Structure 1
Amino acid sequence: MKISKKRKLLYIVSVVLVTIYLIWRIFFTIPWQTNIFVLIFALLLVGNEIISNATAFLLLILRISSTGKLQAKTSIPKFMPHQIVPEVDVIIVTHNEELALLQKTINAATFLKYPDKSKVHVVIADDGNRPAVRELAEAYGVQYIGMTNNTEAKSGNINHALKQLHSPLFVIFDADMIPFSTFLEHSVPFFTKNIDDLANDEDQVKPLGFLQTPQSFYHVDIFQHNLFSGKSISNEQDFFSRDINVLNGANDGAIFTGSNAIFLRQAVDEAGGFPTDTLTEDFELGAKINIAGYASISTILPESAGTTPLDVKGVIKQRVRWGRGVMQSTRNLHIFTNPNISFMNRVILINSYLYWWSFARRLVYIAAPVLYALFKVQVVNANFWLLLVLWAPGYFLLHYALSISPNHIRTEFWGEVQETFFAPYLFIPIILETLGIKAKKFKVTIKNAEASIIDRIYVLPHLMLWIITLFAIVKFNYGKWGSEIMMGSIITFWLLLHFANLTFSIFVALNRTNYRNSERFARKTTGKIYIDNGETARAIEIDDLSESGILFHFASSKNGMAVDQDFSGILYYENQPIEISGSIIRILIENKVTLYGATMSASPETANRHLQLIYDGTNKLLPSEQDGWITPFDTLQINLQIRGGQWRQKINLWRQQVRRLLHLS
């Protein structure tokens, strides 16, 4: 995708303005004459400003350097008639996941499309050596590689499996990441094309080491779920997977994110296999492959979908492990001094490293205006008007430049909310890992853990910061009028911004119950419903379905059914029948179309096809972009209305219980 000259100019002007501001901040605003503690915090603040803006500059550099490359790097090639399609090992890595979850991934792997299916070898790598998993593999006719006494976590499991496999390409899937049927058709051609390109111009073409497809999820994450924004905010991980990593790949340095990737076996062997001395073997392996002289790319469209934890505790533990792992891996790789790392690859790795420091920076940013508002601790020694002139244009222009990404995945505001939410829990682990205090033990994130009342304890840091910030806003502005309010407007701006971020963080940390047992997917297919003991067949069109339910309408508006009416029928997946039976549980009308919701189950003989119909493709009921019409104010209003109503119900219920007890006494 080509960046217009106007946008390039915007990037350059914003960088210049911010650079001028930073030079002024460094040389003219640090309170050198104050006490040592204030000076240390002032230096921390300006240092964080430099690093924060540097990461923004790095992102703009990636966008500019990717101009003209994205289309060529991400356009899916086709298999050429003269090429022999290579053998591929599809490795599904499992540790202790539930069999029902693993079954969906194995089932989908058997439906992978490929010009020669005999060259696709599905392998289950199980370091638990569980008999039940072996039986599941046998039931699906796929290879099982068990392992006992694994002391090297996921890397040890994969390395053990690779010793017994020999295909030139292999794919890695986590147990919960369900591949789409097009995965191999949309990934292997990148390698066959690369082989042709190398044959034609070996000096100008890098060999392709691996291809990463985006991490995608078929249900909402904690931000979407807990903020009642499952229709308006894209998944928190989309920004990296479908934007940042695609830019990395345009510069031959896509980062391996642990699953949904296909590798050239030779590249992995040259990199020394999967590393075992880090919590993020994926990040480190990808970098080692790049350092070995191989390119890595990331595609734009997802080719698989999986689960993400919905409990706050699980999400935080997952991010702590990722953050610690990246600190370990960047230290192992010597990203700042290693002469074998190319310039753009170093930019990408440093950008990844600095990201994990954004959470500590966020706490410093929250503290700075609070210290001034409550205690008159001045960490920026500046005239108001000079600060306004030098800071505001660059700040707002840079934020605008960062927000006009072509894909509209995330706004800067929601990025700050996410940083604020994770900040209290990540800054200490990152500091400890940087100091060499390691957490070596690998723990698989439990993706289907239920949120509990105990998770509410995670709201305490945000709640304390929220109360302090609110008090600071009131104290700082109380009794001020006219020009006094104007002169304090920058402090008030930062306090209000952090107050908003903390408010949303509290809503996220409070959690809410997930009542759905299985996810609904928007799937457009056809079928038939049989009623009257199978004597009458009526054509239907599917609107959405899940593992236990279906929403459909009749092809003819003349047909209809009643609640509690039983039926049998047939659905179709790629013209293959799926036998179903069920019962109508609700009837609704949308856009003048009568929709029928029903419980449903598939026959044992067609159950695998039913699973494939559900999970083959992204869940289009979830947003892939930010809804520009829904503002943060709208989201805040929605949360206050819904949560306020829930709290009123709980209070009324509590009152009724108290009255009942008083009446009994």
Structure 2
Amino acid sequence: MNISGVVSRLGVSVMVLLWLLLMVPILFLASVPTSIAVQGVLALVTVGLLLVVKPFVHVCLPIRFGMLAVASFFTLRYWLWRLTETLPSPEEPLSFAAAIILFGAETFTVGLFFLTALVTADPTDPEPPARVRVKDVPSVDILVPSYNEADELLAVTLAAAKQINYPHDKVTVVLCDDGGTDQRCNHSDPAIATESKARRARLQKLCSDLGVVYVTRARNESAKAGNLNSALQNLSGELFLVLDADHVPSRDFLIRTVGYFVENPRLFLVQTPHFFINRDPIERNIGLPETCPSENEMFYTTIHRGLDRLGGAFFCGSAALLRRRAVDEVGGISGETITEDAETALDIHARGWESKYLDQAMIGGLQPETFASFIQQRGRWATGMIQMLILKNPIFRSGLSITQRLCYLNSMSFWLFPLIRMIFLISPLFYMFFGLEIFVVSSKEVLVYILPYLLIGFLVQSALFSKVRWPQISEVYEIAQTPYLLRAIIGTVLRPRAAQFKVTVKEEELDHAFLSPIYLPLLGLTLLMLLGLIAGGYRWIAFPGDRTVVQLVGAWNLYNFLLTSLALRAVFERPRRLLKPRTGVSVPASLHLISGGEGSYPLDATILSAGAKSLILRVDGDTRGPDGKDRLNEAREGGAVEVHAILTNEPDLAAALPATIASVRSGVEGVTVNLAIASKDMIAASRLAAFLTFGDSARWTFFRKVHSRGRGLFSGLVFVFSKGILSLPTTVYDFLNEPARRKAELETATHVPSNELANVVSAPVQPGQKPNEPSPEAEKYFGVGS
């Protein structure tokens, strides 16, 4: 019998019981009618109480429960007031319809508030698993599904998977290649067939050199779910680890997770966070500081720990260890929707299996580099979750506990935010453009109901998430996605089985600035908010008797405009680099310069960055030889070099690595040398990069827990609103300057060295490309069509 599981379930039952007991007095007090004066006192007391307890919610569970209870009380009072006193008369059908739409969106957010409060009330902090004797550890298959990723990206991931600390006879690393299937190798399009055959041959050799198993299948069916299921048919590991092609694991992944499965025979999943070594395009393009926590940290640091407490931690597609027997019990990885990960977890949870979330990042992955690919990825997530909500609604799914139903409902319904956000954005315009009365309210009621309600919401968000999400940043992210994901949501609701899985491109190289080709919807939304402000100014002048309402609705519209104008910066792609790269290292090495058979000249150096195709080193000391000549310049003009990493704990990885000098740059910190690695030496470079850059998960812990900084409510609001105001002139300038920038870029591109230019313009014509149309390679190089 699993004692810890019983204790955990008892703890969840007690927490749910406490919530139910708290709801009784909350419902009663929220429904008691009061005067405006009394409501004003309640608002002041509630806000003051939350301000006092806010600093202690993370260190004292009763205070956390009390804060959520107080906020719940005021939220219910607000909702009941909106329902009973603020809706216009049905005798005005247009106004009433607009008001009902807005009230429906508010009702949804109130329901989501209570679900989120339940989930985040008591996040888990799991203890490390018990040690397991080496002879008793279960066998593990490491699956790396791939479709169109570059060879060097796969090489680093596979090399890292081979370096994981675990008995070698108990682990098998498998590349599941969906880009080299029989279907693609025999494609009717000769170009696709040729490339697929070449890819299969290259990856087979890569796997052979790394000691990895290569598998593919006959047909590309059921996307990632089908790829994994096909690979699992020929594997027999008791557990299997799923890693996306760009998710490079640290060496301690299995030793930190396997023990949980030994402790609990009913455990089917240990999910870990996804940490990314690059910034997503929204935070990069709008210019968020590097100390601002990444967008996914709120989910992985707080929300998923809360889901774990309620038994609802789910599979997130990668960086997760699963029990093979549980997956087999439901017929393999589920594929009815395009979010095979959460769907699989839902199916297995319904069979009574348990899951666990471990808040220890042990992979370094890649986020989409461009706004367009970011939107494509989020559109797939939103589509899949809405598919599950419709096709596999957890509320009616047998086998799930009450808390699990609520967890899945919370996770799925979140992705309705494009619809809710759009309602909140356009509702003020119903009045500004058409004079529709969307709610009936006096200025005093605004002060005692609406403003305290908003402030309490901000305070609760800040108390729960200030360390992992700055105030209003989530709103900016949602607005940036809303005009794009809204179409995907509506399409999925109308045709839930019609969605198709599209692989997100991760390894794009953003080496120049350009305007995203999908900028129009977000620009249109921003201009709509601006027209609302202009209409408000007209109403202020034309209808003096309505100025109180114009002030209220205009302030709301101004708030929407500032957030939307800041979100619009996301469409201006900017290749900004991290000041402190998350993949930066500092490893002593020796750089041997070999020039024309004259001998080898060793230089003391420090490795700053390592990859499958390049190394960056800082040369320490004098680069001149005994004759006074600069050996780096000599080597750069044609001589070869060798890098000897000084690794006392991994001498096998310290063998000489041949390279050529791509560039040399002198700076304040010394001479920096960029080395290019030949394709034939990619395996050795990948092993070195996997060990140096991704081997230690403490690196990711530093960036998640130490490098990121929380921000208080007031300073966070000032930051966002000031940034929204200050971004306006830049945005207008960038739009006006875009034609000139494109022209200058094309003119500059004509001076590319002849050998590079030839490689671009002589690229073969692609399928569907007209003979005189620029190839995709030329578009990427010259910025054509950006």
Q: TM-score, normalised by structure 1?
A: 0.85
Q: Does 1:123 align with 2:174?
A: yes
Q: Residue 570 of structure 1 corresponds to which residue in structure 2?
A: 644
Residues 563-572 or 371-380, more deviating: 563-572
For residues 562-585 of structure 1, the C-alpha deviation after alignment (integer angstroms, 9 at most, x for no partner) is 985757542245443153554762
Q: Does 1:625 align with 2:688?
A: no
Check conservation: 1:565, 1:584, Cα contact below 8 A: no
- 1:208-219 matches, within 5 Å, as 208-219=267-278
Letter in 2 for 1:285: T
**Shift, 1:25, TM fit:** 0.6
Q: Structure 1 residue 504 and structure 2 residue 566: aligned?
A: yes
Tell me the equivalent position of 1:607.
685
Shift of 1:443: 2.1
Mapped partners of 1:572, 1:607: distance in 2: 14
Is residue 2:671 matched to residue 1:596? yes
- 1:344 lines up with 2:406 in the alignment: no
Whether 1:326 and 2:385 are equivalent positions in the alignment is yes
CA distance, structure 1, for counterparts of residue 743 and residue 373 of structure 2:
34
Q: What is the distance in 2 between the residues matched to 1:607 and 1:449? A: 21
Taking the aligned partners of 1:338 and 1:51, their CA distance within structure 2 comes to 22
Say whether residues 1:168 and 2:219 are aligned partners.
no
Residue 149 (structure 2) aligns with: 97
C-alpha contact (below 8 Å) 2:582/2:703 kept by paired residues: no
1:548 CA drift (Å)? 2.5
Q: What letter corresponds to residue 123 of structure 1 in structure 2?
A: V
Match of 1:111 among 163, 173, 176: 163
- The alignment partner of 1:263 has SS state of strand
Instruction: Indicate how the Cα distance of structure 1 residues 148 and 376 shifts in structure 2: closer, same or farther if over 3 A, else same.
Output: same
Mapping 1:129-528, distance limit 5 Å: 129=181, 130-195=200-265, 207-229=266-288, 231-405=290-464, 408-449=467-508, 456-477=516-537, 488-513=550-575, 521-528=583-590
> Taking structure 1 as reference, are residues 352 and 548 closer, same or farther at Cα in structure 2, changes over 3 Å only?
same
Percent identity of paired positions between Structure 1 and Structure 2: 24
- TM-score, length of structure 2 as denominator length: 0.73
Distance 1:450 1:654 in 2: 18
Aligned letter for 1:579? A
Q: Residues 290-346 of structure 1: CA distance to partner in whole angstroms, max 9, x if unpaired?
A: 111112122222111222222233222222222221122233323122242211111
Is this contact kept in 2: 1:268–1:274, CA < 8 A? yes
Q: CA deviation at 1:551?
A: 5.0
Quick one: distance in 2 between partners of 1:638 and 1:545? 38
Q: Is the 8 A contact 1:279 1:324 kept in 2?
A: yes
Moved more, 210-219 or 626-635: 626-635
Residue in structure 2 matched with residue 199 of structure 1 by the alignment: none
Does the Cα contact within 8 Å between 1:181 and 1:616 map onto a contact in 2? yes
C-alpha displacement of 1:226? 1.3
**C-alpha separation between the residues in 2 aligned to 1:124 and 1:531?**
37
Q: Given that residues 562 and 584 in structure 1 are in contact (C-alpha distance below 8 angstroms), is that contact kept between their aligned partners in structure 2? A: no
Change (3 A) 1:295 1:625: farther
- Give the conservation status (yes or no) of the 8 Å contact 1:602–1:610: no
| Cα distance in 2 for residues equivalent to 1:112 and 1:46 | 53
Conservation of the 8 A alpha-carbon contact between 1:152 and 1:276: yes
Instruction: State whether structure 2 residue 100 is matched by structure 1 residue 43.
Output: yes
- Using the alignment, how far apart are the partners of 1:84 and 1:656 within structure 2? 65
| One-letter amino acid of the structure 2 residue matched with residue 522 of structure 1 | G
Distance 2:328 2:744 in 1: 68
Q: Distance in 2 between matches of 1:562 and 1:523?
A: 25
Structure 2 gaps of 5+ residues are 1-57, 182-199, 636-640, 746-786
Cα drift, residue 30 of structure 1: 1.2
Deviation per residue, 1:513-556 (Å, 9 max, x gap): 5799xx87222322234579777756544555555242547499
Query: CA-to-partner distance for each residue in 1:427-459, whole Å, 9 max, x for gaps?
Result: 232123223353243222222346799963422
Q: Compared with structure 1, are the counterparts of its residues 211 and 437 closer, same or farther at alpha carbon in structure 2 (3 Å cutoff)?
A: closer
Shift of 1:23: 0.7
Amino acid at match of 1:297: K
Alignment match of 1:25 (pick from 66, 82, 95): 82
The question of whether the paired residues in 2 share the 8 Å contact of 1:87 and 1:167 is answered with yes
Does the 8 Å CA contact 1:18/1:394 hold for their aligned counterparts?
A: yes
- Tell me what 1:202 maps to: none
> What letter is aligned with 2:250?
F
8 Å CA contact 1:313, 1:455 repeated in 2: no
Name the CA distance, whole Å, in 1 between partners of 2:447 and 2:545.
15
Deviation of 1:655 after TM superposition, in Å, equals: 11
Greater CA deviation, 614-623 or 144-153? Answer: 614-623
Code of the residue aligned with 2:176 in structure 1: it is: A
User: What is the rounded CA distance, in whole Å, between the counterparts of 2:118 and 2:709 in structure 1?
Assistant: 23
SS at 1:134's partner residue? helix
Q: Is the 8 A contact 1:550 1:599 kept in 2?
A: yes
Deviation at 1:360, TM superposition (A): 0.5
- Distance change >3 Å, CA 457–CA 650, structure 1 → 2: closer
Q: Counterpart of 2:67? A: 10
Work out the number of aligned pairs and report it.
634
Q: CA distance change for structure 1 residues 555 and 4 in 2, over 3 Å: closer, same or farther?
A: farther
* Residues 182-202 of structure 1, C-alpha deviations (whole Å, 9 max, x = no match): 21122112212324xxxxxxx
Q: CA deviation at 1:419?
A: 0.9
Distance 1:39 1:132, change over 3 A: same
Distance 2:170 2:507 in 1: 34
Q: CA deviation at 1:219?
A: 1.1
Kept after mapping to 1: 8 A contact 2:352/2:400: no
More helix by share: 2
Q: CA deviation at 1:146?
A: 1.9
8 Å CA contact 1:246, 1:254 repeated in 2:
yes
Q: Is the 8 A contact 1:311 1:450 kept in 2?
A: no
In the alignment, the residues of structure 1 paired with residue 671 and residue 464 of structure 2 have an alpha-carbon distance, to the nearest angstrom, of: 40
Q: Distance in 1 between matches of 2:212 and 2:663?
A: 38
Q: Which residue identity lines up with residue 693 of structure 2 in the other structure?
A: I
C-alpha offsets along residues 354-375 of structure 1, whole Å, 9 cap, x if unaligned?
Answer: 1111111111001111222233
Contact map agreement 1:312 1:455 (CA 8 A) in 2: no
Q: For the residues of structure 1 that align with 2:514 and 2:643, how far apart are their CA atoms?
A: 44
Name whichever of 423-432 and 594-603 sits farther off: 594-603
CA distance in 2, matches of 1:185, 1:169: 13
Give the 3 Å change call, closer, same or farther, for CA 275–374 of structure 1 in structure 2: same
Q: CA deviation at 1:56?
A: 2.1
Q: Is the 8 A contact 1:525 1:572 kept in 2?
A: yes
Alpha carbons of 1:287 and 1:445: their partners in 2 closer, same or farther (altered >3 Å)?
Answer: same
Post-superposition offset of 1:599: 0.6
CA distance in 1, matches of 2:634, 2:723: 39
Post-superposition offset of 1:135: 2.4
Q: Is the 8 A contact 1:551 1:595 kept in 2?
A: no
User: After the TM superposition, which of the residue ranges 413-422 and 40-49 deviates more from structure 2?
Assistant: 40-49
Task: Name the CA distance, whole Å, in 2 between partners of 1:563 and 1:149.
Answer: 51
Amino acid paired to 2:154: L
Residue 661 of structure 1 corresponds to none
Quick check: 1:579 aligned with 2:680?
A: no
Structure 2 residue identity aligned to 1:571 = A
Q: Secondary structure of 1:526's match? A: strand
Q: Please tell me the root mean square deviation across aligned C-alpha atoms, in Å.
A: 3.6
